[in-house]
Amino acid sequence: RHEVLRARFKRVDHQWQPEMDESLQGERFSIIDLSNASPAKLAQELESHCSRIQQSLNLEQGPLFRAVWFQTPAPEPPRLLLVGHHLIMDAVSWRILLRELELLVSSAVDGVPAPSLAKPVSFFQWAEFVRNYAATPQLRETAGYWTRMARQAFVGVPQDFTLGPNIGASKR
């Protein structure tokens, strides 16, 4: 439905080019059976699998989106992990995808036919729109403003506390 979820990117002449890859269908959705995991180890098992799945996203080889259903031992509810590379999923895209998933699941739970969802704008249509918009006089008129903004000195972000550097080693 959302073609960009099937994308991967190849470097061609020093530029990244998207291509749709149907060959990874089995890798995009999978089921992991943790129903025999002990209650004490379930959280650790879930965290380990989730970390591995997140790290498996590969820009050139795909997939860039994965859905994994975790079957857990009773009385724990099953879990669904959705992971998308930031190149194909922004906050707006997540809201759209999750809203559609919510509609489909609600329909299934209620035993009614799934609603007909409007066909989304394709990735390629959107890219073409952005490319055309970038060439418009209206956008070019704003170039001076953004160039001046980029040349201004950065004054920093106000801080509530100055307890040292904000790096991974300083986390609590």
Looking at residue 34, its pLDDT comes to 96
Looking at residue 35, its pLDDT comes to 94
Q: Do 28 and 66 contact (CB within 8 A), yes or no?
A: yes
Percent of the chain with pLDDT over 70: 92
Q: Where are the beta strands (DSSP E) in the chain?
A: 7-12, 15-20, 29-33, 65-71, 79-84
**Arithmetic mean of pLDDT, 159-167:** 72
Percent of the chain with pLDDT over 90: 37
Looking at residue 154, its pLDDT comes to 82
Distance (Å, rounded) from C-alpha 36 to C-alpha 42? 9
**H or E stretch at 30:** strand 29-33
State the CB neighbour count (10 A cutoff) for residue 88. Answer: 22
Q: Which range has the worst mean pLDDT, 34-48, 54-68, 83-97, 146-160?
A: 146-160
Please give the structure tokens belonging to residue 93.
Answer: 């895209």
Render pLDDT for 89-143 as a digit per residue (tens, 0 to 9): 888 888 988 998 999 889 989 999 888 877 777 777 888 899 899 999 999 899 8
Nearest CA-CA partner of 50 in 77, 96, 19, 82: 82
Amino acid identity at 115: P
**Arithmetic mean of pLDDT, 140-158:** 87
**Helix, strand, coil percentages, rounded to 5, for the chain:** 45, 15, 40
> Judging by DSSP bridges, how do beta strands 79-84 and 65-71 pair with one another?
antiparallel
Looking at residue 170, its pLDDT comes to 64
